[in-house]
Amino acid sequence: MAMQSDGRMMRYARQRVFAPIGGAGQERLAAARVAVVGCGALGTHLADMLARAGVGHLILIDRDVVEWSNLQRQMLFDEADADAGTPKASAAANRLRMVNADITIEPRVLDLDAEAARELVGEVDLVLDGSDAFETRYLINDACVEAGIPWIYSAVVGAEGMTLNCHAPLVDGTRTPCLRCVWPDPLPPGSAATCDTVGVLNGAVSMVTGMAATEALKILLGSAAISPELRSFDQWAGTYEAIALPRDPDCPTCARGEYDWLDGAALGDAARLCGQDTIQIRPERLAGTRLPAIDLAAVAGRWRDAGTVQQGGDAFVRLRVAPFDLTLFSDGRALIRGTSDPATARSLYARYVGM
């Protein structure tokens, strides 16, 4: 590293005098490698805090581009990024290099798959979840548990948020639960609200990512204060809850070593229909299982403020958000017209249906 001016040497002064970190802890953070999967609201806040804290190497992964609707809560982007449709990972990396030129920031514009996930966990000490899709979170969970490294799950919608340290080492030699200890299977598509259907407060994003970023520092420093609890809040109502969750002794992933999302036992695909500018999405599920039928009327109700909605009885519900049409069927399958890119189709599905 090049010789720093006196001013630059003061960058971490307020952090070094915090006793649980100190000078030795700051050096440990400088040697750490962290991946942030997803550079949306959660990911940009997390990456910004860790870059400012001096985590030495950040890998930023995202498949999407910046849109104007992102600017209300995705803090590393500006109007020029939205006008240009800059890839989020690249735009975030460019901004963070202006925040801290003394660390390495590596953008990767890709849709995380099993091969990329296995490669990623071999390069880092910790993974932070900033994604908007449960299929991605189960993939992260498989890859991290298989590699023996911790990751942090975070989620936010409306004014509510939650975070959980997954497979993180505790001082007694045990680990916190993994994602499948808590949710053995993904939530059914369309069963939960998304930010695009009910909105999201930027203050709620800041709150949950502040909690998660602090836990990330604890994990990287080997602190005895790592939280084993699922912590959730409703910022609008002013409520907070911390639930102690033991590991499941029969968890498919961290107990039995079954990596369904890495090894292909989880089924789901995005395929282009022949001769059409349309992608068909099938949601993730385990082989041999069936997803419950979606309540299409409830989905239609959540979509009312998102675009033009057409209901087809019990058969389908359609959302028009120019230039796309999303037709959702009761089995969770969707046709997304207006794109030939599977990554774009998956992103739209996650935003409006949830996955």
Task: Tell me the per-residue pLDDT of 179-198, one tens digit each, with 9 for 90 and over.
Answer: 999 999 887 766 677 787 78
Q: Which DSSP category does 191 fall into? A: S
Share of the chain above pLDDT 70, in %: 91
* Cβ contact 178:141 at 8 Å: yes
Residue 195: active-site member = yes
User: Residue 135: pLDDT band by 50, 70, 90 thresholds?
Assistant: confident
User: Residue 317: pLDDT band by 50, 70, 90 thresholds?
Assistant: confident
Question: Which is higher by pLDDT, 269 or 29?
Answer: 29
Report the alpha-carbon distance of residue 146 to residue 262 in Å, rounded. Answer: 9
Q: What are phi and psi of 261, to 5 degrees?
A: -80, -30
Report the alpha-carbon distance of residue 190 to residue 289 in Å, rounded. Answer: 17
Report the alpha-carbon distance of residue 11 to residue 6 in Å, rounded. Answer: 9
Q: Which of 144, 178, 181, 195 is catalytic?
A: 195
CA angle 111–113–129, rounded 5-degree value: 70
- Distance from CA of residue 87 to its chain's centroid? 16
Report the alpha-carbon distance of residue 24 to residue 71 in Å, rounded. Answer: 37
Q: What are phi and psi of 26, to 5 degrees?
A: -65, -40
User: Residue 95: pLDDT band by 50, 70, 90 thresholds?
Assistant: very high
Report the alpha-carbon distance of residue 136 to residue 113 in Å, rounded. Answer: 8
Q: Which H helix or E strand runs over 79?
A: helix 79-84
Q: What is the pLDDT of the chain when averaged over all its residues? A: 89
pLDDT for residue 254: 97
User: Could you read off the pLDDT of 214-250 as tens digits, one per residue?
Assistant: 999 999 999 999 999 999 999 999 999 999 999 999 9
Domains in the chain, ordered, with CATH? Answer: 6-244 (3.40.50.720), 266-352 (3.30.310)
Averaged pLDDT for residues 132-147: 91
pTM: 0.80
3-state SS, residue 325: strand
